[in-house]
Amino acid sequence: MLKYIYTLPLNYSKFNMKVSVLKGFSFGLTSGVITTLGLMVGLYATTHSKLVMIGGILSIAVADAFSDALGMHISVESENKHKTKYVWMATISTFAAKFVFAISFVLPIILFSDFTAIIIGCIWGILVLTAYSFFLAKQENAQPYKIIGEHVGIAILVIIITNFVGQWIEKIFR
């Protein structure tokens, strides 16, 4: 279904506004989960410090949410076929989703030991991606396992790579 929505002639309708919000939400959710997981795992592997992990997540939640929102704004604006309200709806929904999903990773770090918080954060991130990927697959009448596998596979790859990068940095600079 979504693949057909994106190919419809775009006009200033309520339906079109929903597409702009969905576009921003999809991007913000995905970026919020993947970026924050990578940062969290990398910082844990390097420092094992709750303070550093919380500071990193809060920095990502603010700076990267603004950056992604501006990137979405410019990207949609550059298509030169949308009304101003459409552009801003995509921008705001990108910021909101990125900020909320990034911030959601702070709670486990506050409540649990470092390693447990990382495990809970990884499970949380993978669950969020799985649920949203399932929703997307159903909307597109696609095989859920293919979409979920692709998206979760990328998240796991990010987790593995950032863990190794963090360990490498820790060995070099300690």
Tens of pLDDT, residue by residue over 99-113, are 999 999 999 999 999
Q: Looking at residue 174, what is its pLDDT?
A: 82
Rounded CA separation 43/35 (Å): 12
| 73-95: pLDDT as tens digits | 999 999 999 899 999 999 999 99
- Smallest CA-to-CA distance from 68 within 107, 37, 16, 29 is with 29
* Among the listed residues 66, 93, 88, the one whose alpha carbon sits nearest the alpha carbon of residue 77: 88
Rounded Cα distance, 126 and 54, in Å? 20
Q: How many CB atoms lie within 10 A of CB 7?
A: 8
> What are the boundaries of each domain within the chain?
18-173
pLDDT at 135 over 50: yes
Q: Does 2 have pLDDT greater than 80?
A: no
Distance CA 37, CA 27 (A): 15
For helices 144-173 and 14-47, the axis angle rounded to 10 degrees is 30
Query: Quick one: pLDDT band at residue 5, thresholds 50, 70, 90?
Result: very low
Instruction: State mean pLDDT over 145-169.
Output: 97
Examine the pLDDT at 6 and tell me if it is beyond 60. Answer: no
Distances, alpha carbon 156 to alpha carbons 66, 116, 125, 148, in Å: 25, 17, 10, 12
Q: Mean pLDDT over residues 40-68, rounded?
A: 97
Average pLDDT over residues 23-38: 96
- The whole-chain average pLDDT of the chain stands at 91
Q: What's the rounded Cα separation, in Å, for the pair 14 and 8?
A: 14
